[in-house]
Each structure stands twice: as C-alpha cells, then as structure tokens.
Amino acid sequence: MDKNYQVSLLFNANKAYDRQVMEGIGDYLHANQCCWNIYIEEDFTTSIEQFKSWKGDGVIADFDNPALEQLMMEADMPVVGVGGSYANPDHYPKVPYVATDNKQLVVMAFEHLKSKGLEQFAFYGIPQDSWERWAIERENTFIELMENESYEYSIFHGSSTNSKTWQEDMNNLESWLKGLPIPVGIIAVTDARARHILQVCDQLKILVPEQVAVIGIDNEEMTRYLTRVSLSSVAQGTRRMGYQAAKLLHNLLNKTPNRSGQLPRILVPPTKVLQRQSSDYQGVDDPYVANALHYIRHHACKGIKVEQVLDYIGISRTNLEGRFKSLRQHSIHQEIHQAKLERAAQLLRESELPIADISEACGYPSIQYLYSVFKKHYSQTPKEYRVYYQTQKNV
C-alpha cells in the first residue's frame, strides 16, 4: 500500500490552463487511488512565501512562472514541472517535465484558418518584455510558418491588461486592425487576447468572420460568454498533462526505477480545434452577400424576415436572392432558418440552458416547433443531440 504522501500543487486556478491541469491530476488520483494529502492555498493560487515554510514529500508546479521554477530547482524533494514546450532543448528545466506543445497549438490554429481559404494572416501576442515564455514560443512558431510558406504577415503585441491604460490600449489595437488587409485570419496567443479583437471589431463594425476571422488558444469557457460572436479556439491537452504529471510524481515518490535512464520529458499535443462563429469564414467575395450574412448571423434569432435583410442591404429582393442562389445555392429565407438552427445546436452543445429557453432565445414560436425543425435537419431531437455531445465530451 502507498504511503500517505504530502503533496503540494503550485498553480493559479484563475487561469483555465492551470485549472484543467489540476483536474487531470485529480483524474490520476481517482483512477489509481493514490494516498496523497494535497496542500493548496484556499483561494487556489500560489504563494511562494507560504511554500518556503511548507514541509512535504513532493510538488507538481507550474514552471511557466520563472520565479516558481527557480524556487523548485532549489527544493529538496521530488518535483515535477508543468509548462510550455521549447524549440531549444536547452531551455527545458532539469526536472521531470510535462509540456504543452506550443508549436502544434499554433500550427493547428494556422491550418484551420488556411483551410478556410484565407491567404492573409496576423498574430496578436503579448508585450515582448513579458516573462510569459510560452507566448514567445507561439509567436516564433507563427513567424516560422509565415516565412516557410512565403506569406506576408503582421504582428501586434499590445500592452498588458491594465485598467488605467485600457482605452489607450484598445485604441492602439483599433489602429492595427484598421491597417490590416482584408479578409485576414488572426491567431491570438490566448482566448483572452482574442476577446479584445472581437470587441474592437464590434465597435468598428468590422465583419467577423467575413472580413476578420479570429481563433484563440485555450478554449477558455469564460471567454465564450463574454463576447457576442462565439470564439473559435484550440483546446490544449491540459487534463492529459495533469494526469501525466501526477503519474511522474507517483513514480518518484514510490522510487519506481526509470528504465530509460533519461530525465522524463513528455510533450502533450493539443486535442482539437473547436470551430465557432469567429472563424467560420466562407470566402464570399460579393460585398452584398457578405454583409447580408453578417446581419443574418447577428439577428436571425430576433425573428427577422427577408424584408429586414433587404432594408439593411439596400437592394431589391430579386437582386439579392439571385446573388444568394449563385453563391449560397439557397434562398435568403433558408439562410435565416439555417442560422437559427445552428445557434440552437451551439447552445445545446455548449450551455446548460433548458431547451425551452433555447427555443425562445433562438426565436422559435414554441418548443414543439423547435423539436420539429431540429429533428428534420439533424435526425435527432434537441435532447438526443445534447446528450450525444455531453457523452462525447467525457470520452
């Protein structure tokens, strides 16, 4: 039977990344019935001063923080690091380490945007003087991709989020966005940075994704609820990282022999791109149709009719219907119907709203009517559809 070990987790759970890594550690503990007493601050943050006086058996720590990494290198107990990957092998710490694959995160985001037919790209990072080394690795990968494929590109770093300089920072972001060629695909270094872009585009009446397609990294749940346009994102394999980190520490605590003779280093790839509205670019060259699509995306669930689309665009029904038939192979009415269904499906997948509330939010006259049109289109009832996707999340 395992000894009852005292283990400290040094993470900051105000970040989705850290929370999900901790969930993965929990997955390992439950699966293997480890006898660990977990020490963590009550607010789930890390206090370096508090840790200095802690006496225990082992630590799993976020090595993306240089101060924390330095402290762990001086620790007199087994340590497993979790953090970003590095192009230069010499930059890895001299402890067992589990890394998110920064290069593949950006490659996956880029391939997603490129698959949409986009040929102009940009990157929104963080200040270059930041200690966030994972962000530098992601930016360097973006530059490498652009230069390898001979794309022209633009990079904007912006400033660290600060309430005193917020408006000035957003003004600078506006100036950068206005200067980009369109259509353009933008990779944001995190979902939080992607949210800035979506907000500014909304203020400037820049069409997302028709003119600017955006994808973030992290699949941060909170960000999805704070933007009018749902954000596409690359999901990291964070739970897998936590699981592997706990396994490494378990082996160290139990003195399990390391047969390879090398310092363990595990690279965990991203899991998938979650495409949502912000990157659903469809390469529509006709400005009338592009503007109509944007209007429909934002107003379909408000009960709009074809006449309101025509009033917004300012051309005749015959003219716009012809353009839709040519480019979309269906009518304006069908586009509105499709937009409502897609919104209902998204809410079923990504929210816990009652189906009756989803029906109302998407502009359907009754829940029975939603069931009828949804079953006809998806071959599943809304309830069956939701249960299926909930099951897939847990696989």
Q: How confident is the model at residue 2 (pLDDT cuts 50, 70, 90)?
A: low
Q: At what angle do helices 306-313 and 287-299 cross, to 10 degrees?
A: 130
- Lowest-pLDDT range, 65-69, 192-196, 197-201, 258-262? 258-262
Do 116 and 231 reside in the same domain of the chain? Answer: yes
What's residue 221's pLDDT?
74
Do 263 and 315 reside in the same domain of the chain? Answer: no
Burial 168-183 (b: 16+ CB within 10 A, else e): ebbebbeebbeebeeb
- Give phi and psi for 122, each to the nearest 5: -150, 165
Do 264 and 302 reside in the same domain of the chain? Answer: no
In the predicted model, what is the mean pLDDT of residues 95-120?
96
Helix, strand, coil fractions of the chain, as percent rounded to 5:
50, 15, 35
pTM: 0.81
What does the pLDDT look like over 112-154, one tens digit per residue?
Answer: 999 999 999 999 999 877 678 899 999 999 999 999 999 999 9
What's residue 131's pLDDT?
72
CATH of residue 121? 3.40.50.2300
Q: How confident is the model at residue 225 (pLDDT cuts 50, 70, 90)?
A: low
- The mean predicted confidence, pLDDT, of the chain is 90
Whether 77 and 7 have beta carbons less than 8 Å apart is answered as no
Do 184 and 138 reside in the same domain of the chain? Answer: yes
Q: How confident is the model at residue 43 (pLDDT cuts 50, 70, 90)?
A: low
Note down the domain range covering 342. 287-393
| Number of structural domains in the chain | 3
Give the end of a domain, one of 279, 302, 331. 279
Please state, in angstroms and as integers, the Cα–Cα distance from residue 144 to each residue in 120, 150, 197, 236, 376, following that order.
15, 10, 23, 21, 46
Is the pLDDT higher at 176 or at 42?
176
Do 95 and 112 reside in the same domain of the chain? Answer: no
Is the pLDDT higher at 53 or at 321?
321
- Cα(45)–Cα(47) distance, integer angstroms: 7
In the predicted model, what is the mean pLDDT of residues 271-289?
88
Do 294 and 202 reside in the same domain of the chain? Answer: no
- Cα(311)–Cα(320) distance, integer angstroms: 11
What's residue 45's pLDDT?
67
Do 116 and 188 reside in the same domain of the chain? Answer: yes
- Lowest-pLDDT range, 68-82, 200-214, 222-236? 222-236
What does the pLDDT look like over 329-378, one tens digit per residue?
Answer: 999 999 999 999 999 998 998 888 999 999 999 999 999 999 999 999 99
pLDDT at residue 172 above 90? yes
Do 232 and 109 reside in the same domain of the chain? Answer: yes
- Best-predicted range by mean pLDDT (61-65, 74-78, 161-165, 362-366): 362-366
Q: What is the DSSP string of 146-198?
A: HHHTT--EEEE------TTTHHHHHHHHHHHHHTS-SSEEEEESSHHHHHHHH
- Cα(309)–Cα(248) distance, integer angstroms: 58
The amino acid present at 340, given as its one-letter code, is K
Do 153 and 95 reside in the same domain of the chain? Answer: no
Do 264 and 293 reside in the same domain of the chain? Answer: no
CATH of residue 357? 1.10.10.60
